[in-house]
Amino acid sequence: MNRRDVRRLGVRDIDIVYTVDDYWDGPREGIASFRGKPHAYRCLFDEAQDEWSERYRLTPISPDALEAALEAWGIWCRWASADRAGQAPRGSHPALPHESERYFHLKAVVDSAVNENETQAFIAHGEFATGASAGSAIHGDPGSLTVVWRVEAAA
């Protein structure tokens, strides 16, 4: 998506990416808004093409689950910062030792929220855009990352 595409879209069409929990040539899993409400997103793999698609399964989550996801994201960001500085203990990914238990608790809260709302999941085409380098999200800065969702079909 280029700047002209963004200008053509209304502000309401552009959603916020809160977390990027998996990244491979683009965001693959995390939390983003859809029409202003928090949703977990997970990229679908295209078996026929043998590559990641631009189709995502979106599952609504509660504000409490979003809060848990944001706290877990903060823990991961602190780990990533320490890792880049060479200060994260070997094998500590995805959290520093003193935050590991809390991180896994928060991830379980989010996973449970996603599982509880699985029947409300749907498929959408996602176009992610960033004002910074494409890899900034995997270095703990999704702040400039946005997404435009186009709903495809019921899951």
Render pLDDT for 18-77 as a digit per residue (tens, 0 to 9): 999 999 888 999 999 999 999 999 999 988 888 888 899 999 999 999 999 999 999 999
Average pLDDT for the chain: 86
Torsion of CA 89, 90, 94, 96, to 10 degrees: -10
Sign of the CA dihedral running 102, 130, 26, 57: positive
Q: pTM to 2 decimals?
A: 0.82
What is the pLDDT at residue 152? 75
Q: Which residue has the tokens 């990641």?
A: 52
Q: Which residues contact 6 (CB under 8 A, 6 or more apart)?
A: 14, 129
What is the pLDDT at residue 46? 86
By CB atoms closer than 10 A (0-12, 13-18, 19+), residue 129 is middle
pLDDT confidence band for 4 (50 / 70 / 90)? very low
What is the pLDDT at residue 50? 83
High-pLDDT (> 90) share of the chain, %: 68
**In angstroms, what CA-CA distances link 61 with 39, 67, 99, 152, 155?**
5, 10, 24, 20, 16
